[in-house]
Chains A and B, each alone.
Chain A
Amino acid sequence: MQKLSDIAIGKEYIIDSINDDELAQKLLEMGCTPGEKVVVERKAPFNDPIAIVVSGFMLSLRKQDASKIIVKKL
């Protein structure tokens, strides 16, 4: 288990859980549900925010929020 904020660019992971109710509300409705594949596509300068590809689209979010998303290796 790792935090989404800690994983390397380009490696495939699977969303395990989102440890934050408010954040979960926003991400879930966009399709970032547990079990979905997720890849960190790139990072903004200063490594924050990060852009991830999930469920076929690219999404940007802040590092602190990404740290609430727990992922596991595919």
Chain B
Amino acid sequence: MEITKIKVVLAGNPNSGKSTLFNALTGLRQKVGNYPGITVEKKTGSCFLNQNTKAEITDVPGAYSLYPKSIDEKVAQEVICNKEDKSYPEVIVVVADATNLRRSIFLITQIIDLKMKVVLALNMVDLSLKQGIIINVSKLSQKLQIPVVAINARKQDGIKNLKEAIIEANLQGSENSFFDIRTLFKNIIEETNDLRNSENVYGSFLALCMQEVNSKNKLHSELNILSKKHQFIPSRAQAQETIRRYKKIDTVVDFCSTKTKINANRSITKWLDDVLIHPVFGYFIFLGVLCLIFQAIFSWSAYPMDLIDGWFTGLSIWVASTLPPGVFNDLLVKGVLAGLGGIVIFVPQIAFLFAFIAFLEDTGYMARVGFITDKILRVFGLNGRSIIPLLSGAACAIPAIMSARTIASWKERMITIMVTPLMSCSARLPVYTLIIAMIIPSEQSWGPFNLQGLVMMAFYLLGFLAALGTAFIMKFILKAKERSFYIMEMPSYKIPDWRTVIYTIIEKVKVFLFDAGKVIIAISIILWFLSSYGPGNRFEKIETKWAGQENAETHIAAEKLEASYAGIIGKSIEPAIKPLGFDWKIGIALITSFAAREVFVGTMSTIYSVGDNSNIRTIREKLESVKNPDTGKAFFTTAVGISLMLFYAFAMQCMSTLAIVRRETNSWTWPAVQFVYMGALAYLSSFIAYQLLS
């Protein structure tokens, strides 16, 4: 039997339950890609509507209207309006929140006027009933002249009806109209129709509203001329249209719904808000939540991380001993597997972080965090919405930078992206742990607090303060392209949907593994080459020198690294890093750290020939015994340790982050600036610290 395919787009307001419906429809048959040329994630999936009809579903970012304000919303508008687009839909399903019918159906009335085939999925009917709002679905369908299906995305109720409605809508025409824009603007619309060679009056109106001034595009400049002739001001026209459209919507809502009693859920929300955004307790609760997240990222994820580490070690040993020795074996074990292990090890932390973020977002708490922090963050050129990227940065800058997309203001988004990598990410943790263990005696304490823990905390705080400080400076450097707004819905509190949380985790982990993973693997292979090969016959000489001696392998490994290209680079940068208290060996570690910061530990263990038994304690003991050739005392003094930690705190030693910043900003300028300013900050602070302390 032939299978028919229908292209379906899922649209709707933020918080309307759109993602939940998408998950309910497609399950795990989802793909996250990118829209060509821009950085917004494209979520697609598929499902069978009946035995021989398959829907290919695209989930577009949440939007209130077809007038775009952020890049996210621009995507939604483009997918729906651009007939040339590959995912131009045959049927659009608009998800509406029944507790908020008036606002929810604004978008669908616009889409109806574009003469598209639509289905309205009325979600959260159970909640609206609890609030005393009764909606007559058939009346709504009759008024809008489109199929309306009541669903409960969380409980997966009504999905079957929705699927049938999609098939039916696809078979029918789409000649309805909700509001005739010609009642407001007749002449200019008709002239625009001629210009665009189209009968679609609302399409012409949208084209007029979205015309670009001084564009090289022929249509745009013609629209400019037309607008001048008719004194058409897009923003005014849009406002006029919106008000008239809402007037018509009000009559529909009045006709289809009845309100019986006052809002009960509101009072629960009110009560929770009294506590959660209390001027004093609000901040303490937020700090408590943060502590819990950190606890999860650092302690709970240690177990799965140890497991993953164990698997990769096992796998490396197995591969190394099973495959015939040689270059390929070496590349596979020390290049590819080492790189892979370095990525996969972060999956537990990323999963925990996004579990919390998804959970907090789904409950409605995140909007409150933005509410109580916006005023403070604004001082630093940031926005209440910057809080999520900044906090996520404490786990990993990669997903954190991706989450900055919801910030509509270009300037605030750029500042957020630029400073997020200063937050102490989890890759710095192993570096800090090792150095702190070396330079701070574990038995020392300050009151009830262990000194080592305090130093660790101080470095986290330092990262946060550096991020705020840099943001503050950038606020004066960057020119705003548009005004900054903080307009955010504060949804009623809800019990989070576990499915949404799980799907978010899977999605974010996938993006991290594949997007960052590609870069990390590539860099790992380059670094493997640089540290496994050297010019001339140096390597053979080392092997003959140590042949047959005791502990030959570890000595050979150390000397080979010194003779390799990486060693040569390390030595050549030594003059530059000497004022920071570093020698060429640390220089090599700084270079290899570009794959990922935690590679520092592994490199140090190789270079100081610790051998295979490389757990933190043995590396520490080895490093502690290293003597400074000039003074004869221990090399790793407090001054060197602090300088090194400062360097790792500030320097942009993460290729994957640079790659993500490039993707998010669509230019190499931003990552380049980021690399330079963070490097300068690292160098200067290490320099000052070392010179003062030594």
Given A42-B273, A42-B277: A59 in contact with B488 (beta carbons within 8 A): yes
Interface residues on B, range: 35 or more
Please, what's the 1-or-0 string for B654-672, where 1 marks a CB less than 8 Å from any CB in chain A? 0000000000000000000
Q: Are B243 and A60 in contact (CB under 8 A)?
A: no
Per a CB cutoff under 8 Å, which of A21, A26, A34, A46 touches B487?
Answer: A26
Q: Are A29 and B64 in contact (CB under 8 A)?
A: yes
Please, what's the 1-or-0 string for A1-41, where 1 marks a CB less than 8 Å from any CB in chain B? 00000000000000000000111111111110110000001
A22 proximity list for chain B (CB < 8 A):
235, 482-483
Please, what's the 1-or-0 string for B280-293, where 1 marks a CB less than 8 Å from any CB in chain A? 00110000000000
Cα separation A25 to B209 with both chains bound (whole Å): 11
Cα separation A45 to B277 with both chains bound (whole Å): 8
Q: Are B106 and A45 in contact (CB under 8 A)?
A: no
Cα separation A61 to B69 with both chains bound (whole Å): 16
B308 CB within 8 Å of chain A: no
Cβ-closest chain B residue relative to A51: B490
Total A-B contacts with CB atoms under 8 angstroms apart: 108
Cα separation A26 to B242 with both chains bound (whole Å): 10
Cα separation A45 to B492 with both chains bound (whole Å): 20
Cα separation A27 to B238 with both chains bound (whole Å): 12
Cα separation A19 to B563 with both chains bound (whole Å): 71
Please, what's the 1-or-0 string for A39-58, where 1 marks a CB less than 8 Å from any CB in chain B? 00110111011010001111
Distance of A16 from chain B, by nearest CB (Å): 13
Given A58-B489, A59-B488, A62-B485: A30 in contact with B375 (beta carbons within 8 A): no
Cβ-closest chain B residue relative to A56: B100
Q: Are B371 and A25 in contact (CB under 8 A)?
A: no
Please, what's the 1-or-0 string for B222-255, where 1 marks a CB less than 8 Å from any CB in chain A? 0000000000000110110011001100000000
Per a CB cutoff under 8 Å, which of B100, B371, B489 touches A49?
Answer: B371
B51-77, CB < 8 A from A: 64-65, 67, 69
Interface residues on A, range: 20 to 34
B247 proximity list for chain A (CB < 8 A):
33
Q: Are A31 and B102 in contact (CB under 8 A)?
A: yes
A31 proximity list for chain B (CB < 8 A):
102-103, 106, 246
Q: Are A48 and B375 in contact (CB under 8 A)?
A: yes
Per a CB cutoff under 8 Å, which of A23, A29, A45, A55 touches B67?
Answer: A29
B372 CB within 8 Å of chain A: yes
Q: Are A45 and B375 in contact (CB under 8 A)?
A: yes
Distance of A14 from chain B, by nearest CB (Å): 14
B165-203, CB < 8 A from A: none
Q: Are A56 and B374 in contact (CB under 8 A)?
A: no
B370 proximity list for chain A (CB < 8 A):
60
B576-615, CB < 8 A from A: none
Distance of A29 from chain B, by nearest CB (Å): 4
Given A42-B277, A49-B375, A51-B371: A59 in contact with B242 (beta carbons within 8 A): no
Cβ-closest chain A residue relative to B263: A56
Cβ-closest chain A residue relative to B97: A57
B279 CB within 8 Å of chain A: yes
B372 proximity list for chain A (CB < 8 A):
44-45
B546 CB within 8 Å of chain A: no
Cα separation A42 to B485 with both chains bound (whole Å): 19
Cβ-closest chain B residue relative to A30: B64
Cα separation A33 to B106 with both chains bound (whole Å): 12
Q: Are B235 and A46 in contact (CB under 8 A)?
A: no
Instruction: Pick 19 A–B contacts, CB within 8 A, sort by A.
Output: A22-B235, A29-B64, A31-B246, A33-B242, A33-B247, A42-B273, A44-B371, A45-B375, A46-B375, A49-B486, A51-B273, A55-B100, A58-B490, A60-B488, A60-B490, A62-B374, A62-B485, A62-B486, A65-B485
Further pairs besides A25-B242, A30-B487, A44-B375: 18, Cβ < 8 Å: A27-B487, A28-B239, A28-B243, A29-B64, A31-B103, A31-B246, A33-B247, A34-B243, A41-B273, A48-B374, A56-B102, A58-B269, A60-B371, A60-B489, A60-B490, A61-B485, A61-B486, A61-B488
Closest 9 A/B residue pairs (Cβ): A29-B65, A31-B103, A45-B279, A58-B490, A28-B242, A21-B235, A33-B246, A29-B64, A61-B487
Residues of A within 8 A of B (CB): 21-31, 33-34, 41-42, 44-46, 48-49, 51, 55-62, 65
